Structure 1
Amino acid sequence: MTQQDLKEFLDSKVEQYNTPQFIDSDPIQIPHLFTKKEDIEIAGFLSATISWGNRKSIINNCHKMMDLLEQSPFDFVMNHQESDLEKLETFVHRTFNGADFITFIKGLQHIYTNHNGLEAVFAKHATSNSLQQSIHQFKHTFFEIEHLPRTQKHISDPLKNSAAKRINMFLRWMVRPNTTKVDLGLWDSLSPAQLSCPLDVHSGNVARKLGLLDRIQNDGKALTQLDNSLRQLDVNDPVKYDFALFGLGVFEKF
């Protein structure tokens, strides 16, 4: 398959899967429940944070998170009392537990109170073609508050060779335009050209079969290789191919 043939094939798969129907089976449906910018950001960030494992379980637990935050995530983050946090102690999704949830609420309050919000933190350290340095700096800023060491594992660090799948997915949600009513296109200060593909077992396996990736591990080095391959197909919006790779892997068992 020539590169042009590959591009045409993947473009057709993007068109097939980058539709509103995709939302029904994806945790991106959670931030779509809200209209206020900060609510969308927080709902998206928390939902992406627990997006590993069974997809039905992920979505159910994302809804539980929003219920615990009284369907007003920004107001809860900014105005909660210590007593309000007690009900969060019961939450669990795999290894993300109530103590982690409480720390994330406090970390988000710190971000919005002292650093002008999520978008500002990620935009501050962005480079022209990558947000991986931004993710590294965001993790440092987020955990400036007092926290349990165990909670740090729930935000990956690309500079420690992590593919940072979940936070790259969150950034895709926030940055890519809302032209097909899937991604939210909420952040004007960043560009789709700066995004990295949310690399997981499904997208990784499909990428290898298509010759976009040859590294065996799904780590930071593999992400860099995949980013370079996808930018050769579309330098302005390389991460649109996440829909193709994910759809081929999950829905078509490619």
Structure 2
Amino acid sequence: MPMNKKDIELKNLLDIEVDNRNNECELTLERPDPLFIAKRHNDEYISLICALFAYGKASLIIKFLDSLDFSLLNKDEESIRKSFEKHYYRFQNNKDIQEFFIALSRLKKQTTLNELFVEKYKINNNVCEGIDNIISKINEINPHTSQGYKFLLGSNFKRDKQNNIKQVGNAAYKRWFMYLRWMVRKDNLDMGLWSGVSSEDLLMPLDTHTFNVSNKLGLINRKNCDLYASYLLTTKLKQFDKNDPIKYDFALYRIGQEKIMELKD
């Protein structure tokens, strides 16, 4: 379907923002983003920790991530428990952080997150299936449960009677989709550490902020910030770049954050 004049203007604006933002100057302590910490280590397991704790005020996220000793992922479980006796972050207490590190430490000894993801993703190129597989494996290898831990890791996706993941009725999984962006895409921002996953299959990381900006720009028209909204926005952005629609994620975030353009009411 050919784009109308408004879509062409919006695409041009976003393309300019993508080019302008595609540099490491966007990731500094003065402009905090969890990717700043993740790139320092360039590791898929450490990056997952950075992504899943990426909720709340950005400066506080960075402060918390900076307090973590990621080398503990390669040490014994008693060392992990001792090191995190006094750690907590918002909804996660010290027990949640200890058990999360222990789960990842056990998993890291067995496999890569890339392999776990591709195991289910490759069936029909569904990134949600890949995420679901990683969540299942983390829960299996260390079945710790608490409200804070469930919030951190996320639940398995809700499914229909045919066992297909529902587009309507699931949360947006913003932190997981952001993690996939980091792992799959490769530019001056994203690390591209994974293989076997196509950027065209990624879904838009959608939080309330980006959701509101996308609605105001007319990219989507939806009341609920959920998985279906992410599908809708991704589909729209594929009109701008069918092979790499998620490259617009950072640009959309900054457009709203920095009030670059006048958004309609």
TM-score clears 0.5: yes
Matching residue of 2:177: 168
Matching residue of 1:154: 152
Q: CA deviation at 1:41?
A: 1.4
Matches within 5 A, 1:152-231: 152-157=150-155, 159-160=157-158, 161-177=170-186, 179=187, 181-231=188-238
* Pair 1:118-2:113 in alignment: yes
1:53-96 deviation line (CA, Å, top 9, x unaligned): 1111011111011xx33xx2xxx223324144222131122112
Q: In structure 1, what is the Cα distance between the partners aligned to 2:78 and 2:213?
A: 46
**Residue 19 (structure 1) aligned to one of 15, 18, 23:** 23
Give the number of the structure whose alpha-carbon radius of gyration is greater.
2
Q: In structure 1, what is the Cα distance between the partners aligned to 2:35 and 2:46?
A: 9
**Residue 11 (structure 2) aligned to one of 3, 7, 13:** 7
Q: In structure 1, what is the Cα distance between the partners aligned to 2:152 and 2:232?
A: 24
Change (3 A) 1:222 1:188: same
Unmatched runs of 5 consecutive residues or more in structure 1: none
Residue-pair matches, total: 240
Q: In structure 1, what is the Cα distance between the partners aligned to 2:107 and 2:197?
A: 18
1:1-27 deviation line (CA, Å, top 9, x unaligned): 432222111111111222211111211
Change (3 A) 1:232 1:148: same
Three-state SS of the structure 2 residue aligned to 1:92 is coil
Say if 2:96 and 2:146, in contact at 8 Å, map to a contact too. Answer: no
Amino acid at match of 1:119: N
TM-score normalised by the chain length of structure 2: 0.84
Change (3 A) 1:158 1:131: farther
Q: In structure 2, what is the Cα distance between the partners aligned to 1:157 and 1:215?
A: 23
Unmatched runs of 5 consecutive residues or more in structure 2: 159-169
Matches within 5 A, 1:54-65: 54-65=57-68
Q: In structure 1, what is the Cα distance between the partners aligned to 2:216 and 2:230?
A: 16
Amino acid at match of 1:228: T
Q: Which moved more, 1:86-95 or 1:124-133?
A: 124-133
Change (3 A) 1:226 1:157: farther
Matching residue of 2:247: 240
Matches within 5 A, 1:61-80: 61-65=64-68, 68-69=69-70, 72=71, 76-80=72-76
Amino acid at match of 2:14: L
* Pair 1:94-2:98 in alignment: no
Change (3 A) 1:62 1:111: same
Say if 1:123 and 1:189, in contact at 8 Å, map to a contact too. Answer: yes
Q: In structure 2, what is the Cα distance between the partners aligned to 1:97 and 1:20?
A: 33
Three-state SS of the structure 2 residue aligned to 1:143 is helix
Q: CA deviation at 1:229?
A: 1.1
TM-score normalised by the chain length of structure 1: 0.87
Three-state SS of the structure 2 residue aligned to 1:212 is coil
